[in-house]
């Protein structure tokens, strides 16, 4: 049996590339975006009452990770990227139907759109459904998951003087907490777990409309070297 689904909205996100997106929501509270609702859900009727809610569940499509052949086993980053487990034991992006879910903070409800933070969705992500977070039902204090019992340890992030000033300047221009966004995302250490890069290697990613570049002076530390307009 097959079913067709139609997006209710499109995410306009600070994340322009898959690299360096936090592996779970809330790990980067400064990550913000706007969910633009599509007709007929953009009239205000579909979100009436939602302004009372602090957080929402988003069901969405991993539109850049869709695959014709389902994977039965995947290699989750939390296990170092070199151990295979069943796809249903993980939150890997390689889903049988490409469906993801995230609980994010609802900052405001505006005509035809929702302002969100703590997101982990790529720019342009089709959102299939929106559901209010229900604390008494959605939070299970006794829940157990040995593979992800706590948030991953953060790596140290420091800055060159020039890069920090550039980030402050671009943050003011964008009216976004850019310094916090960069620190929160890079602290999750976006490199593959099995990779130990040479100190001279430069990594880069695009947040909003700026390119952020950094290096690993040691495997346990990131140094942001440049924050410049994306060419």
180 within 8 A of 190, measured Cβ to Cβ: no
For residues 41 and 37, give the distance between their C-alpha atoms in angstroms, rounded to a whole number.
Answer: 6
Q: Are residues 101 and 186 located together in one domain of the fold? A: no
For 226, phi then psi, to 5°, come to -160, 140
230 within 8 A of 206, measured Cβ to Cβ: yes
Residue 118, phi-psi category: left (phi > 0), alpha (psi -120 to 50), beta (remainder): left
Q: Which residues pair with 106 in a beta bridge?
A: 116
What is the pLDDT, as a whole number, of residue 79?
A: 63
Q: Is residue 68 part of a domain?
A: yes
Q: Are residues 180 and 128 located together in one domain of the fold? A: no
What is the pLDDT, as a whole number, of residue 192?
A: 76
Q: Are residues 160 and 133 located together in one domain of the fold? A: no
Q: Are residues 23 and 125 located together in one domain of the fold? A: yes
Q: Is residue 102 part of a domain?
A: yes
Which has the closest alpha carbon to 85: 148, 152, 20? 148
Q: Are residues 119 and 89 located together in one domain of the fold? A: yes
Q: What is the distance in angstroms between the CA of the first residue and the CA of the last residue of the chain? A: 46
Q: Which residues pair with 227 in a beta bridge?
A: 212
What is the pLDDT, as a whole number, of residue 132?
A: 98
The total domain count for the chain is 2
What is the pLDDT, as a whole number, of residue 197?
A: 75
Q: Are residues 17 and 65 located together in one domain of the fold? A: yes
CATH of the domain at 214: 3.30.2310.20
CATH of the domain at 57: 2.40.30.70
Q: Is residue 3 part of a domain?
A: no
pLDDT in tens, the chain (231 residues): 788 899 999 999 999 999 999 988 999 999 999 999 999 999 999 999 999 999 999 999 998 877 778 888 887 766 666 788 898 988 888 888 899 999 999 999 999 999 999 999 999 999 999 999 999 999 999 999 888 778 778 899 999 999 999 999 999 999 999 999 999 999 999 987 667 778 889 999 999 999 999 999 998 899 999 999 987
> Could you write out the DSSP letters of every residue in 143-173?
---GGGSSPPPPPEEEE-HHHHHHHHHHHHH
The parent domain of residue 225 ranges over 156-229
Q: Are residues 19 and 115 located together in one domain of the fold? A: yes
Q: Is residue 92 part of a domain?
A: yes
What is the pLDDT, as a whole number, of residue 84?
A: 87
Q: Are residues 20 and 134 located together in one domain of the fold? A: yes
DSSP 3-state of 203: strand
Cα 74 off chain centre by: 20
Q: Are residues 168 and 204 located together in one domain of the fold? A: yes
Q: Is residue 54 part of a domain?
A: yes
What's this model's pTM, rounded to 2 decimal places? 0.91
Q: Are residues 164 and 125 located together in one domain of the fold? A: no
What is the pLDDT, as a whole number, of residue 147?
A: 80
Identify the burial level of 111 via C-beta atoms within 10 angstroms of its C-beta, where 0-12 means exposed, 13-18 middle and 19 or more buried.
exposed
């Amino acid at each position: 049996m097959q079913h067709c689904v139609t997006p209710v909205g499109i995410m306009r996100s600070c994340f322009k590339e898959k690299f360096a997106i936090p592996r779970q929501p809330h790990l980067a509270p400064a990550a913000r975006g706007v969910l633009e609702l599509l007709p007929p859900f953009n009239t205000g009727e579909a979100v009436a009452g939602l302004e009372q809610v602090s957080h929402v569940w988003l069901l969405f499509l991993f539109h850049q990770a869709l695959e014709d052949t389902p994977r039965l086993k995947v290699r989750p980053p939390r296990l170092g990227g070199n151990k295979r487990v069943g796809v249903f034991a993980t939150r890997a992006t390689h889903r049988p139907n490409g469906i993801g879910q995230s609980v994010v903070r609802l900052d405001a409800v505006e005509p035809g759109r929702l302002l969100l933070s703590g997101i982990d969705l790529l720019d342009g992500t089709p959102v299939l459904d929106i559901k209010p977070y229900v604390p008494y039902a959605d939070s299970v204090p006794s829940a157990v998951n040995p593979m992800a019992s706590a948030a991953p340890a953060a790596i140290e992030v420091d800055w060159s003087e020039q890069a920090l000033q550039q980030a402050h300047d671009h943050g003011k221009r964008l009216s976004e907490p850019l310094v916090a966004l960069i620190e929160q995302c890079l602290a999750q250490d976006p490199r593959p777990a099995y990779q130990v890069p040479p100190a001279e290697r430069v990594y880069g990613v695009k947040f909003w409309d700026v390119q952020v570049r950094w290096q690993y002076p040691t495997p346990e530390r990131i140094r942001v070297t440049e924050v410049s307009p994306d060419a």
